[in-house]
């Protein structure tokens, strides 16, 4: 999951340039459902595209967890067939929300004929082994570049499910062939947790407000915010609370604890602590 911060951009020493003259900083986070598990800070121009930022963030996270069994759930910001091929080559399991109607070649269907697969308000329209196409740049005689569609030989799994309530289709691409269609759908639904976590970082922990204008200072700010977020998330989980309530209660308990420590150092006389 990525976000772009543009607070006080004109003063940033380095960042992603915008046409307006402002500079942007991109943060990419990984989240394991309970705690943040990684963060990358991007300031180079090429990272304005998620197609560059997300693969690098994911592969950096994989290097830190060599013997992991993770499945990376990714939104539509990443659609590159080349990135998916690289993930598969490095044994990185993923589930990606795909754009609708992308070009593919079906190799095998996992659905049984005349036996619809349904659960709750969802119906599986397609569950197949496929090969995807990618655009390769070709330069013509006039020097202009156009893209030619080429098939990638790596095999992926394409799943299309439909909401019977809204009639909306959801396309998913994955290299995980052992999970059921429902399990893949359930995995992607859990991605909402990181959306909620991101909103918490921005609204409650003020991640959108930069307090330093250089990369090192920004990284320190992000890491300190992550430490605070992890403490709050553990407290939230332990006490079965919401984000705002957890923040308010932990602040009250910290205040009471600090007050108690000050009173002890004052020899048990509260009047000395609060003396003006």
Per-residue pLDDT of the chain (276 residues; tens, 9 = 90+): 555 555 444 555 555 555 555 667 777 888 887 888 888 887 777 777 778 888 888 888 887 777 777 888 888 888 889 999 999 998 889 999 998 878 899 999 998 877 778 888 889 999 999 999 987 777 777 777 667 788 889 999 999 999 888 999 999 999 999 999 999 999 888 888 888 888 888 888 887 777 777 778 888 888 888 899 899 999 999 999 988 899 999 999 999 998 888 888 888 777 776 665
CA 98 vs CA 10, 40, 103, 158, 192: distances in Å: 35, 24, 11, 9, 16
CA distance 240 to 144: 59
134: Cβ–Cβ under 8 A, 6 or more apart, which residues? 80, 81, 82, 149, 150, 152
CA distance 126 to 113: 11
CA 256 from centroid of its chain's CA atoms: 36
CA distance 19 to 122: 43
Give me the pLDDT at residue 235, please: 92
pTM score: 0.78
Q: Are 103 and 149 in contact (CB under 8 A)?
A: yes
192-203 helix and 215-239 helix, angle to the nearest 10 degrees: 120
The Cα diameter of the chain in Å comes to 88
Residue 11 DSSP SS3: helix
């Amino acid at each position: 999951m990525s976000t772009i911060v543009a607070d006080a951009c004109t003063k940033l020493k380095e960042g992603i340039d915008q046409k307006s003259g402002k500079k942007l900083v991109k943060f990419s986070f990984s989240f394991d459902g309970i705690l943040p598990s990684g963060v990358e800070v991007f300031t180079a121009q090429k990272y304005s595209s998620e197609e560059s930022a997300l693969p690098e963030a994911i592969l950096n996270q994989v290097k830190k967890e060599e013997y992991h069994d993770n499945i990376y759930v990714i939104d539509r910001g990443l659609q590159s067939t080349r990135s998916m091929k690289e993930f598969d080559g490095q044994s990185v399991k993923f589930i990606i929300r795909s754009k609708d109607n992308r070009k593919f070649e079906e190799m095998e269907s996992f659905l049984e004929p005349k036996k619809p697969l349904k659960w709750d308000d969802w119906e599986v329209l397609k569950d197949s082994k496929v090969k995807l196409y990618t655009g390769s740049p070709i330069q013509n005689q006039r020097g202009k570049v156009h893209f030619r569609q080429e098939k990638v030989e790596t095999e992926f799994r394409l799943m299309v499910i439909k909401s019977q309530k809204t009639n909306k289709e959801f396309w998913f691409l994955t290299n995980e062939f052992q999970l059921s269609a429902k399990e893949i759908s359930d995995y992607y639904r859990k991605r909402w947790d990181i959306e909620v976590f991101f909103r918490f970082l921005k609204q409650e922990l003020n991640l959108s407000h930069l307090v330093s204008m250089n990369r090192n200072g920004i990284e320190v700010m992000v890491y300190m915010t992550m430490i605070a977020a992890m403490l709050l998330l553990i407290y939230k989980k332990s006490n079965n609370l919401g984000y705002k309530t957890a923040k308010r209660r932990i602040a009250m308990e910290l205040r009471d604890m600090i007050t108690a420590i000050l009173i002890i150092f004052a020899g048990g006389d509260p009047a000395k602590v609060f003396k003006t």
